[in-house]
Amino acid sequence: MISIETFRPRDLVDVMRLASRTLPEEYPYDFYLQLSRAQGQHFRVARDVVDNSLVGFLVAAKEPGLQANVLLFAVDPAYQGLGIGRALLRDAQRRLALDNVRQLRLEVRVDNRRAIRFYQREGFDVAGLQPGVYRDGADAVAMRKTLR
């Protein structure tokens, strides 16, 4: 059983540990601290209610106007395929729609086919290619979804 909650400061170290194991980019402590302060309700964590461990997180940033971006999104590999990513993404979409966001955007590494298929199943469309987005020079697929 999983619960999805708003990020709390005590989650910071667990978020950083999960990110370091699952995301190709590394960010310093201050980066996560700034995200937690700036994104508030749009920084969500998934927790295994049995042992209270953090098993996923998603950070979305609302932009001026009616748009938002998914900045970071990770699920512990041991919990992938169980619907946790889908639950986090749908939770974010509901919250953003309530905040008058009409379009959600994200970027995913061009070589991450599994993630691209996941987002397409969740209703995202490919919006284009963005060359050299990642520190290692890898390209990103830009994707977007209209929220209702």
The whole-number pLDDT of residue 91 equals: 96
Q: Answer yes or no: are the C-beta atoms of 103 and 66 closer than 8 Å.
A: yes
Residue type, 84: I
- Residue 70 tokens read as 């998914």
3-state SS assignment for residue 13:
helix
The whole-number pLDDT of residue 29 equals: 86
pLDDT < 50 regions, the chain: none
- CA 22 centroid distance within chain: 12
The whole-number pLDDT of residue 84 equals: 97
Predicted TM-score (pTM) of this structure: 0.92
The whole-number pLDDT of residue 9 equals: 87
Domains annotated on the chain, with CATH: 2-146 (3.40.630.30)
The whole-number pLDDT of residue 39 equals: 64
The whole-number pLDDT of residue 33 equals: 84
